[in-house]
């Protein structure tokens, strides 16, 4: 491990806005010796433990360096924002920025998104942003808009709470649209090119297009369309179901070669 990462990891320990729980703090063996999630002490207590003032909580899952989380927080001081990622070296940038500028409405959580239910109580979160998530072309349950993850979100998303999906992946966009339809979820907005065909539908499009991640800017320079969708989980009873009409093969082929974060084409996973 390079000295730069070691320095960042050491500095991360000093940031009050960054919570870095160990796996052992949220996993416990049950009677059959299987590992199951247990609640972290911050669950249900983010307002008093991590923020300067009370306000609606917004999550960004897979926040990377936290650029999007930070800019949303600066635009909305009346709201509280939490960026979630597993990479400590990435979170260092956002946590350092928030600390140096005294942003009392920003926090970061270093954990696997699969563990997210251990950290948030019923109705504690008002919005979720999924920004350029890995489309997981081969693993449906790993997609952050799969029925498995929607069930996790339902446990802590407040009534009327929105899930926002912003992505360069047409595969993930169309898959999510199929999930929404299969479960009769209220669809608030959907666009396959927000910079070319955005419409109102009760959505603040200036907010959607005015805040960009680093990679979003890069994708736009490459001429790649950016898609967006917003929906709620309201009114859905029972388990979430998998879509039966989504054509995986077609949309994998339409996706073409995925790009790495260095923006070099990589081998298609078709």
Report how far apart, in Å, the C-alpha atoms of 263 and of each of 58, 88, 105 are: 29, 22, 32
Report how far apart, in Å, the C-alpha atoms of 64 and of each of 13, 25, 90, 229 are: 18, 23, 6, 20
Burial status of residue 128 (CB atoms within 10 A of its CB: 0-12, 13-18, 19 or more): buried
Distance separating alpha carbons of residues 70 and 83, to the nearest angstrom: 9
Asked whether the beta carbons of 262 and 204 are under 8 A apart, the reply is no
Q: Which of 109, 179, 183 is nearest to 141 (CA)?
A: 179
Exposure of 92 in the CB half-sphere (CA atoms within 13 A): 14
Query: Considering 134, 204, 234, 237, which one is annotated as catalytic?
Result: 134
Burial 201-224 (b: 16+ CB within 10 A, else e): eebebeebbebbbebbebbeeeee
Distance separating alpha carbons of residues 257 and 222, to the nearest angstrom: 14
Q: Is 134 a catalytic residue?
A: yes
- What positions carry a catalytic annotation? 134
């Amino acid at each position: 491990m390079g000295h730069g990462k070691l320095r960042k990891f050491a500095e991360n320990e000093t940031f009050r806005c960054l919570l870095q729980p160990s796996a052992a703090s949220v996993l416990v063996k049950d009677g059959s010796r299987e590992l199951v999630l247990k609640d972290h002490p911050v669950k249900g207590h983010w307002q008093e433990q991590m923020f300067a003032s009370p306000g609606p909580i917004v999550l960004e899952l897979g926040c990377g360096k936290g650029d999007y989380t930070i800019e949303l927080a600066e635009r909305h001081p009346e709201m509280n924002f939490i960026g979630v990622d597993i990479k400590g070296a990435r979170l260092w940038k956002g946590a350092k920025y928030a600390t140096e500028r005294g942003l009392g409405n920003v926090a970061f959580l270093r954990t696997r998104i699969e563990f997210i239910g251990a950290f948030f109580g019923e109705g504690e979160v008002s919005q979720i942003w999924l920004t350029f998530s890995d489309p997981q072309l081969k693993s449906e349950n790993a997609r952050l808009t799969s029925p498995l993850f929607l069930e996790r979100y339902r446990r802590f998303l407040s009534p009327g709470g929105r899930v926002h999906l912003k992505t360069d992946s047409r595969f993930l966009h169309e898959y999510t649209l199929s999930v929404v339809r299969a479960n009769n979820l209220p669809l608030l907005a959907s666009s396959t090119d927000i910079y070319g065909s955005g419409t109102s539908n009760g959505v603040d499009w200036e907010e959607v297009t005015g805040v960009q991640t680093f990679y979003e800017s890069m994708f736009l320079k490459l001429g790649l369309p950016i898609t967006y969708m917003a929906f709620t989980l309201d009114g859905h009873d029972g388990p979430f179901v998998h879509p039966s009409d989504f054509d995986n093969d077609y949309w994998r082929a339409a996706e073409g070669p995925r790009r790495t974060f260095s923006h070099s084409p990589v081998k298609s996973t078709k």
